Structure 1
Amino acid sequence: MTPGSNIPLSAARVAVDVSAPVRLDVSGLLLTAHGKVRSDDDFIFYNQPSGPGVTYRSGGGTASDAITVDTAAVPADIERIVVTASPDAAGQTFQGIEPTATIRDAATGAVLATFTPPRLGAETALVVVEVYRRGGAWKARAVGQGYANGLAGIATDFGVTVEEAPATPPAPEPQPRSQPPVAQSASSTAPPERARAGATPPPAAPPAAPPASGKINLDKGRVSLQKNQTVSLVKGGRPLLSQVKMGLGWEPAYRGKDIDLDASVIAYGPQRNHLDSCYFGKLTILGGAIRHSGDNLTGEGAGDDEVITVDLGRLPADATGLVFTVNSFSGQKFTQVAKAYCRLLDAATGEELVRFDLTSAEPQTGVMMCKLIRQFSGEWEMTAMGSFVKARTVRDMVRPSAAAL
């Protein structure tokens, strides 16, 4: 699965286990239609291993922890169950760690889907997948949303506020497991962290998120993205448009020679499977839903050097991810390119909606500029990438772009 993709569940009971090279703490939260827990009882983890329709299973340090969802037993006012993970070691991030969620039929153990969130770094906690109800049927969606402030950040997002207790002297014996937020009453003995639903957040600010992270929308007009930042193509709560143009431009650096760069878009399915590529050698793909303006051999002139039009409304249902790339067909490195950018425009009005300027370059011949991901709701999100690879043709970009989804 890729971020934002979903699958229908063929089993009434499913288990979601999350594995990684290090030990992880896995939790589940039951959320209403408002995206919040009803009470502390809806937070399921190793100190509170069961709730209505949802249970936690420990891997005992030798196997992966898992959350099992019995969809037939989930209360009617619960719309989704999110499965979270965080490294067991306090303060450890997901840098260099690739957690993989496996969704199984809980009765037979058969694998229904797997998901590995891409491009993790400073995150210390992660919403990995969610099991949700739509129109009386149950589905699973790949999420991969990271938090730099650990389980406290996830708890805050879903209505469980974490209060830090006063510091206590270290215990004579080390604890074998780091403690996530613990749901208990105010009269109980306070653990290192105490979680309560609906409490007022403490005044202390959480650790700062990594730069250029987070998700924004178009409510305030044109957006200038930074690397790794995501914009939702929604304005006023509604999808903004169905047809967009992606303009890509560049200039030779330091009065250098003309550079033949080629803009392309690579389309993928829910399993990161390559559907097709649109580039100067194939100007139309997916039944005309994606069209290329044609090749620019020099980068000369003002404005966009190459334009790719995407009719989001006409894309087939299995097209869930698009990666926009630029390659140096002539073999010159991107350190010889200046003012490389991509911008998203309303195809009907020509209005610029989103812009990403590539302010630094690497001595490579290919760059993934940005990606568009279809969410389970049908909305699309654009993420600025600016990731360089060794690739002179679009064919060389297919594999690294799939890995970046």
Structure 2
Amino acid sequence: MTPGSNLPLSAVRVAVDVTAPVRLDVSGLLLAADGKVRSDDDFVFYNQPSAPGVTHSAAAAGGDTITVDTAAVPEGIDKIVVTASLDTPGATFAGTEPTGTVRNADDGSVLASFTPPRLGTETALVVVEIYRRGGGWKVRAVGQGYANGLAGIATDFGVSVEEPAAPAAAPAPPAPPAPAAEWGPPTGSPAPVAPPPDAAPAAPAPAPAPPAPAPGSGKVNLDKGRVNLQKNQTVSLVKGGRPVLSSVRMGLGWEPAFQGRSIDLDASVIAYGPDRKKVDNCFFGKLMILGGAIQHSGDNLTGEGAGDDEAITVHLGGLPPEVTGLVFVVNSFSGQKFSDVAKAYCRLLDAQSGEELVRFDLTHAEPRTGVMMAKLIRQFSGEWEMTALGEFVDARTVRGMTKPAAQAL
């Protein structure tokens, strides 16, 4: 899932596991229509592990689980918010990627998963929420960060929190009721109140600026011109605070590693919805998809010559709203390994002007037949972000890339 996306729940009982490489404290809050708990009894965590329809269970390491029995949730409760905070005092989520996995609590099957992006100085966050909609229940990916820990989340949702004496900011004044059509942070509050059903969450309240990203991590933008990405680094397709592109072209290129040997690789793009299910894919055998919103340049059989070997043009404004992620992949149908390939790269260009905006060069190769080069993700704000992947897999066709590419979103 991506921030703001939602899915209907196919199970009555769902378990939300929140895991990370470090120890997390996971909690659940039962919220009424006003976005607040009815009392402190609606705060479920390790010291208060149950409330009507909601239970907390601890894991040996990493994170805990909030289980929601939607049939047992009281009528006055509109949603259950699942939160996570770091167990280590003073620690932030910078460099830590927590993942919320929603499972059928009865058979353990995975219904959805979500890893909040762009985390830095946050010390706690709302991961997902389970909420009523049209007589049923849905799950929404949130990823809302807080800079003042679990106490900030709990206080914002109406829980009375008593903490040991420590330097802290003065408590925020009560938040005024938000208009039905808006979801914004009330004056003095560290984060927004809960959104109305199916409204996409607004951007989190500003937190102190995180340190500059280390090589191979973090996110940059286009303000300083062309960006050279390293593996796992992300660039926001925004300049001066505004999206600057309507159509982009992803050029993919490679050269034979050994003189005289032709390399026949195939570049493709797979389009996904918010549930990470494939919507369609565009490759040499299907040069146009989604009503022409994505177009392929055609097959290159050798990799010889300068410049892009294959290119895929994406009209971002023409993509249907159900498309929230694109993964660009390259495969060796004939079985040649990427260890026989030199200078493999991808680059993003403005399709109108031809200006190169972003470039990612593979700095190593593996003896495998497929590689995920990059992904484009639509944010809930409407902007797109490109992340360099450079992940190798064993797959000779775009069909074989569908599952690993979905996992990379």
Normalising by the smaller structure, the TM-score range is 0.5 to 0.7
Is 1:247 aligned to residue 251 of structure 2? Answer: yes
Match of 1:391 in 2: 395
**Pairing 1:343–2:335 present:** no
User: Gaps (5+ residues) in structure 2?
Assistant: 30-39, 49-53, 132-136, 153-160, 172-209
Deviation at 1:370, TM superposition (A): 0.4
Deviations 1:205-255 (A, max 9, x none): x99987522222112221111111111111122111111000001111142
Q: Trace 1:254-273 onto structure 2 (pairs within 5 A).
A: 254-255=258-259, 257-273=261-277
CA distance in 2, matches of 1:283, 1:225: 27
Q: 1:225 aligned to 204, 229, 232, which one?
A: 229
Q: Secondary structure at the match of 2:404?
A: helix
> SS of the residue aligned with 1:216?
strand
Q: Work out whether residues 101 and 129 of structure 1, in 8 Å CA contact, stay in contact via their aligned partners in 2.
A: no
Q: 1:213 aligns with which of 214, 217, 221?
A: 217
Code of the aligned partner of 1:217: N
Q: How does 1:158-173 map to 2 (within 5 A)?
A: none
**TM-score, normalization by structure 1:** 0.65
Shift of 1:197: 6.6
The answer to whether the 8 A contact 1:243-1:311 is kept is yes
1:83 aligns with 2:83: yes
**Separation (CA, whole Å) in 2 of partners of 1:331 and 1:197:** 64
Q: 1:353 to 1:126 in 2, by over 3 A?
A: farther
Per-residue CA deviations over 1:177-199 (Å, capped at 9, x if unaligned) read xxxxxx767xx545xxx76479x
Contact 1:260 1:297 in 2 (8 A): yes
Amino acid of the structure 1 residue aligned with 2:261: K
CA RMSD of aligned residues (A): 5.4
Matched, 1:376 2:375: no
Which of residues 100, 104, 117 is equivalent to 2:115?
Answer: 117
Aligned to 2:336, the other structure's residue is in SS state coil
Contact 1:6 1:139 in 2 (8 A): no
> 1:46 offset after TM fit, Å?
4.6
TM superposition shift of 1:256: 5.2
Alignment partners' CA distance in 2, 1:208 and 1:45: 36
**Secondary structure of the structure 2 residue equivalent to 1:319:** coil
Question: 1:283–1:393: structure 2 CA closer, same or farther, 3 Å change rule?
Answer: same
Q: Does structure 2 conserve the Cα–Cα contact (< 8 Å) formed by 1:129 and 1:143?
A: yes
Residue aligning to 2:100: 100
Quote how far apart the aligned CAs of 1:125 are.
Answer: 7.6
Rate the CA distance shift 1:215–1:318 in 2: closer, same or farther, 3 A: same
Q: What is the distance in 1 between the residues matched to 2:149 and 2:296?
A: 41
Q: Is the 8 A contact 2:18 2:84 kept in 1?
A: no
Question: Shift of the alpha carbon at 1:269?
Answer: 1.4
Partner-residue secondary structure (3-state), 1:403: helix
Match of 1:307 in 2: 311
- Quote how far apart the aligned CAs of 1:5 are: 5.2
Matched, 1:155 2:147: yes
Equivalent of residue 405 in structure 2, options 389, 401, 404: 401
DSSP-derived class of the 1:297 partner: coil
SS in structure 2 opposite 1:26? strand
Identity %: 57
Residue in structure 2 matching 1:129, options 112, 127, 130 = 127
Counterpart AA for 1:330: S
Contact 2:293–2:316 (CA<8 Å) still a contact in 1? Answer: yes
| CA distance in structure 1 between the aligned counterparts of 2:123 and 2:394, rounded to whole angstroms | 31
How far is the alpha carbon of 1:291 from its aligned partner? 0.2
> What amino acid is aligned across from residue 403 of structure 1 in structure 2?
Q
Distance 1:251 1:126 in 2: 46
Q: Secondary structure at the match of 2:57?
A: coil
Change (3 A) 1:249 1:344: same
* Aligned equivalent of 1:59: 57
Cα-to-partner distance string for 1:103-154 (whole Å, 9 max, x where unaligned): 99xxxxxx996324399xxx99885635599xxxx99643669xxxxxxx96
- Displacement of 1:155 in angstroms is 2.4
Greater Cα shift, 231-240 or 337-346? 231-240
Structure 1 spans left out of the alignment, 5+ residues: 30-40, 50-55, 75-80, 105-110, 146-152, 161-182, 199-205
Say how many residue pairs are matched: 344
Structure 1 counterpart of 2:141, which letter? A
**Shift of residue 57 of structure 1?**
6.0
Match of 1:296 in 2: 300
The structural deviation recorded for 1:17 is 3.5
Q: Structure 1 126/215 Cα, relative in aligned 2: closer, same or farther at 3 Å? A: farther
Residue in 1 that maps onto 2:6: 7
Q: Whole-Å Cα distance in 2 between the matches of residues 197 and 271 of structure 1?
A: 40
CA distance in 2, matches of 1:256, 1:96: 45
